[in-house]
Amino acid sequence: MNLSYILKKSLYGLIIILSVVFTLSFIFFSFINTDGKAVYEMTGQNTDQKTVDEIKKAYHLDQPVWKQVLYYANDLSVISVYPQEINRRGIKVFTTSQKTWMIKWPYLGKSFQTDRSVGQIISNAMPGTIVLAVTAIIFATFIGVLLGMVAARHQNSFIDRSIIFLASGGMALPSFFAAILISWLLGYVLHHITGLPTWGSLYYVDEYTGEKYLSIRNLILPAFTLGIRPLSVIAQLTRNNVLEIQQMDFIRTAKAKGLPPGKILFRHTLINIANPLITAISGWLGGMLAGAVFVEYIFGWQGIGKILVEGLQKLDYPVVMGSVITITCLFVLLNIIVDFLYAVVDPRVRLKG
């Protein structure tokens, strides 16, 4: 692996993350300063001015926007400086009479509504989003590649045209509409046949004992809904690339040598369409981590998308900012990993600085 390549990719990722952080900070902190609704959401409309002022001071909302942005960037930074009276978990490296320098994990603040750590809220919701996104992309990849190969094998036939028609419809179907339609049809109208719920998370909590139970049934409908669009893209991409590869000389040579069709398909064709498939799959997986918002909310799936929507509804800006920043970091990290996968799958790709 080329060290300069790794450093360059990491630098690009850091620039993207910082751009998102500072853009979000300026937008949200400016909004908080102009209307003050977030404070009254925490305290109620009849709260006295003294309480409002104390809350603003505790959250630095009484400071100019540029100072609030610096406070937030300081909390996010791994190396931070704090006044002595502020307690943060980390390793203290330098202390004066007024300031403490320390190394710590990024701190995303506290929720305006629950006063809980935003990091804890996101860490509790993260497994649900990851499980949903990974399940959806596995389903979309397996079925999409299979349909694409079938369509390519029966080019210009009724089967081929039917798959293309369904794939085009799936690509054009908005996620929020698909979620409502599938929830109503498969979870309500046909519930007596499917037995699938319209609402629920990965874990079911017993109201009496408080015990958590894994509920795979709740995963089926949201994963199916979330996987429809990437499935459609992967099916068309597979079909088009398989047809293109089949016209190349090495495939004709393999056929002329009498190699079985299955061996030609798996050893020669699929390996040569791996890179575009990796690009599509990784792009959709990253998009699912960010774009599962409507699906999670409509199905009541406990994930980052759901807490993001609830944070917007309740003007809980720390939760909104923390969720978006987390999704951005995941997306950047995923793209860096994919770049390395290219070199593993295709030896012709070289990691150059």
Q: What is the pLDDT of residues 333-344, one digit of tens each?
A: 887 777 777 666
What pLDDT does residue 3 have? Answer: 65
Percent of the chain with pLDDT strictly greater than 90: 14
Identify residue 312 by its one-letter amino acid code. L
Residue 152, domain CATH: 1.10.3720.10
- Please determine, for residue 46, whether its predicted confidence score (pLDDT) is greater than 90: no
Domain membership of residue 261 (yes or no) is yes
Query: Is 90 domain-assigned?
Result: no
Q: Are residues 59 and 149 in the same domain?
A: no
Q: What is the pLDDT of residue 225?
A: 92
The residue among 18, 46, 76 that closes a domain is 76
pLDDT digits (tens, 9 = 90+) for 29-41: 676 655 566 666 6
Q: What is the mean pLDDT of residues 123-128?
A: 89
**Does residue 194 lie within any of the structural domains?**
yes
Structurally, how many domains does the chain consist of? 2
In the listed set 76, 107, 128, which residue is the last one of a domain according to the structure? Answer: 76
* pLDDT value at residue 136: 92
Instruction: Return the pLDDT at 223.
Output: 92
Residues 203 and 295 in one domain: yes
Residue 294 has pLDDT above 60, yes or no: yes
Among 74-78, 88-92, 100-104, 181-185, name the one with the lowest average pLDDT.
Answer: 88-92
pLDDT of residue 11: 82
**In which domain, by residue range, is 132 found?**
118-345
| pLDDT band, residue 163 (cuts 50/70/90) | very high
Mean pLDDT of 272-293: 76
Does pTM surpass 0.85? Answer: no
C-alpha 256/C-alpha 315 separation (Å) is: 67
Strand partners, 214: 203
Same domain, 51 and 138: no
* Judgement on whether residues 135 and 227 belong to the same structural domain of the protein: yes
Q: Is the pLDDT of residue 240 over 80?
A: yes
85 inside domain? no
Q: Are residues 70 and 128 in the same domain?
A: no
Question: pLDDT tens for residues 64-85?
Answer: 878 888 888 888 888 888 876 6
Is 70 a member of any domain? yes
In a domain, 352, yes or no: no
Same domain, 149 and 207: yes
- Report whether pLDDT(165) > 80: yes
| Average pLDDT over all residues of the chain | 80
In a shared domain, residues 244 and 153:
yes
Last residue of a domain, one of 24, 42, 76: 76
pLDDT > 70 fraction of the chain, expressed in percent and rounded: 86
Q: Are residues 292 and 172 in the same domain?
A: yes
One domain for residues 43 and 190: no
Same domain as 141, residue 72? no
CA–CA separation, 120 and 200 (whole Å): 21
Pick the closest to residue 102 from 117, 123, 88 (CA basis): 88
Q: Please report how the helices 304-313 and 118-153 are oriented relative to each other, as an axis angle in degrees rounded to 10.
A: 130
For the cut 80, the answer to whether the pLDDT of residue 237 exceeds it is yes
pLDDT at 345: 61
Among 346, 248, 305, 255, residue whose Cα is nearest residue 130: 305
* Lookup: tokens for 1: 């692996």
CA distances from 347 to 180, 271, 312, 340, 343 (A): 44, 11, 46, 11, 6
- 222 domain-assigned: yes
First to last CA, the chain: 10
Range from 98-107, 151-160, 198-207 that averages highest in pLDDT: 151-160
- Residue 65 is assigned to a structural domain of this protein: yes
Q: Report pLDDT for 15.
A: 83
Q: Are residues 132 and 68 in the same domain?
A: no
Specify whether 68 is located in the same domain as 190.
no
pLDDT value at 167 more than 80: yes
Answer yes or no: is pLDDT of 221 > 60.
Answer: yes
Cα distances from 50 to residues 53, 64, 91, in angstroms, run: 5, 19, 36
* Mean pLDDT for the stretch of residues 265-276: 75
